[in-house]
Amino acid sequence: MRLFNANLFRKDEISVFELDKTRQNGIIRHADEKGELWVELEDGIRSFYHKEIKLFY
């Protein structure tokens, strides 16, 4: 899991995400064993599963 997280695309970089049709800045922090992606958004850190959030790059 450590190697996977070390190679996450745009990890620890400010990126633009779309959540509930609203765009906001966030930072990918890590993925966990369940496959959830943990993203630090403007209102705190949250986990997301497949297709619950969209990354713009």
Give the pLDDT confidence of 22-47 residue by residue, as tens digits: 999 999 999 999 999 999 999 999 99
Segment 46-50 mean pLDDT:
97
Confidence bin at 6 (pLDDT 50/70/90): very high
* DSSP 3-state of 48: strand
* DSSP 3-state of 5: helix
pLDDT at 15: 98
pLDDT at 57: 82
* DSSP 3-state of 26: strand
Q: Nearest Cα to 47, choosing from 30, 55, 57?
A: 30
How much is the pTM?
Answer: 0.92
Amino acid letter, residue 25: N
